[in-house]
Amino acid sequence: MFRFFAVALTFVCLLLGSQISAAPTNEIVARQIGNLQCNVDRLSIVAGLAKTQKTLKGLTASDDATASSVQSVIDSISGAQGAIGVIGKALFTGATAPADARTQVQGNLTAAAGALSAISSTDATTAAGLKQALSELAGAATAGEGVVANCK
Ligand SMILES: *[C@@H]1O[C@H](CO)[C@@H](O)[C@H](O)[C@H]1NC(C)=O
């Protein structure tokens, strides 16, 4: 996860570098790695999912009643993170990202959101944590939409 974050950050640095010196090679690199908003969206989805996972892991540790349901959400998000890693690696090496990786990101995020919104708790702290995780996941999903819209 952290490694991908570092890779994603490198995208932005590469991009900024390419805007400063507009050599033809850099233009090719810039086209390959996308525009700035695209990269901001990529960073946001990565950061948003990491934040959601942290919140969910805290919930599994603090509430036994919802722990196994919450764990299945964690597993789906891990699946999405794995697929994002595949896309990130492909972008970084200049290869075409495998088409099913994007489907896997979307499929896992949809599964995670569905499972998470189905969990409820009468415990106030757990309920608040679930609500926070939902909002963090929604933020990551919005960034995902941004990736689709801005990364061409
Ligand atoms: C979730 O992602 C994994 C790869 O990380 C993939 O094998 C699996 O099919 C994905 N699940 C869905 C529902 O898309």
Closest CA to 146 of 50, 49, 39: 39
pLDDT for res 128: 98
Are 45 and 87 within 8 A, CB to CB?
A: no
The rounded Å distance from CA 19 to ligand 1 centre is 36
Domain limits, the chain: 2-150
Rounded Cα distance, 66 and 11, in Å: 38
Give the mean pLDDT of the chain: 85
Statement: residue 14 has pLDDT above 60: no
pLDDT-derived band at 133, boundaries 50, 70, 90: very high
pLDDT of residue 24: 58
Distance in angstroms (rounded) separating the CA atoms of residues 103 and 117: 21
CATH of domain 2-150: 1.20.1410
More confident site: 19 or 97: 97
Nearest atom (ligand 1) to Cα of 107: 14
Cα dihedral angle (16, 18, 20, 25), rounded to 10 degrees? 180
Q: Report how far apart the first and last C-alpha atoms of the chain are (Å, whole number).
A: 24
Question: Is the CB of 81 within 6 Å of ligand 1?
Answer: no
Provide the pLDDT for residue 28: 55
Q: Is 21 exposed, middle or buried (0-12, 13-18, 19+ CB in 10 A)?
A: exposed
Ligand 1 pocket mutation, candidates 73, 108, 109, criterion most atoms within 8 A of CB: 108
Alpha carbon nearest to ligand 1 atom 9, residue = 104
pLDDT score for 67: 98
Task: Determine whether the shortest distance from the Cβ of 85 to ligand 1 is under 6 A.
Answer: no
pLDDT band at 66 (very low <50, low <70, confident <90, very high): very high
Structure tokens at 55: 């919140």
Give the pLDDT confidence of 69-109 residue by residue, as tens digits.
Answer: 999 999 999 999 999 999 999 988 988 888 899 899 999 99
